[in-house]
Amino acid sequence: MKHTYKITGMTCNNCKASVEKHLGNIDHVTNVTVNLDEGEAELTMDEHVETRILKHALPEKYSLTEKQERNVFASSNASAIPAEEEKTKLQQLKPLLLIIFYIATASILLHYDNWSWKDFMLDFMGLFYIVFSFFKMLDLKGFPESFSMYDPLAKQVPAYGKLYPFIETALGIMFLMRFQVNIALIVTLVVLGVTTIGVTKTLLDKKAIQCACLGTALKLPMTEATFIENAIMIVMASLMLIF
């Protein structure tokens, strides 16, 4: 018997090999085939193995769920599937949305008695970079690997992925200290522009990979929210340069 499962957390061929090894060591699993691009694993079993056993066998970095096959004849249930998937996506993105909310709130409170759109945007961008670079710093070894899965420049130049958390930290300090702001804005447009190209391609290809925007500490799926997050920063940087 064959079963297909969705696997999140895989970012490279080493991850693929690790998943195949751990699932292949489970009793009654006779063959494991992992599709890295689709984020799926097909398991052949001589006796059914419960999903919880499969989950427990994998390292904490990965999560496993049974792939739902849609029944074209079950029209009454078909409409409920997308809503459930969307709910799960929002739950997974909760850390990202909360962080952006707190950054925006802090930026507003810093200027509530002397409001200035310019200062608000500079502080938002500065705090954004500082907070996001912090999460990347938690796993400097694993971040470049995850980042190179969708960033075109990091894929071609591995050293760029290693330097990226430090670039974000430097940009954050420059915005918060109002130091060489125009240079920081131009670098922001280049850096996030390149990343957004990779994110867009990943979304169009519908690849199930992990977003590295908050490093590897938090498991975030690559979704439209990642594109929107970059777009906000690009729009702010553009407005600051124009006005």
Question: Does the pTM exceed 0.75?
Answer: no
Residues 209, 174 share a domain = yes
Q: Tokens 């066998």 map to which residue?
A: 57
Residues 9, 121 share a domain = no
Residues 134, 237 share a domain = yes
In a domain, 75, yes or no: no
In a domain, 214, yes or no: yes
Angle formed by the axes of helices 158-177 and 117-137, to 10°?
140
Residues 143, 49 share a domain = no
Residues 105, 60 share a domain = no
pLDDT for 73: 43
Boundaries of domain holding 57 = 2-66
Among residues 185, 184, 224, 187, the alpha carbon closest in space to that of 202 is found at 224
Q: How many domains does the chain have?
A: 2
In a domain, 36, yes or no: yes
Residues 30, 141 share a domain = no
In a domain, 81, yes or no: no
Residues 204, 129 share a domain = yes
In a domain, 157, yes or no: yes
Residues 134, 219 share a domain = yes
Q: Edge-to-edge strand order for the sheet containing 63-66?
A: 29-35, 40-45, 2-8, 63-66
Residues of the chain scoring pLDDT < 70: 68-89, 208, 219
Residues 135, 43 share a domain = no
pLDDT for 208: 66
In a domain, 7, yes or no: yes
Residues 109, 54 share a domain = no
pLDDT for 87: 53
Residues 218, 123 share a domain = yes
Indicate which CATH number applies to the domain containing 61. Answer: 3.30.70.100
In a domain, 78, yes or no: no
pLDDT for 223: 74
The pLDDT tens digits for 122-180 are: 999 999 999 999 999 998 988 898 898 899 999 999 999 999 999 999 999 999 999 99
CA distance 105 to 120: 10
Residues 204, 99 share a domain = yes
pLDDT for 149: 85
Among residues 30, 53, 52, the alpha carbon closest in space to that of 43 is found at 30
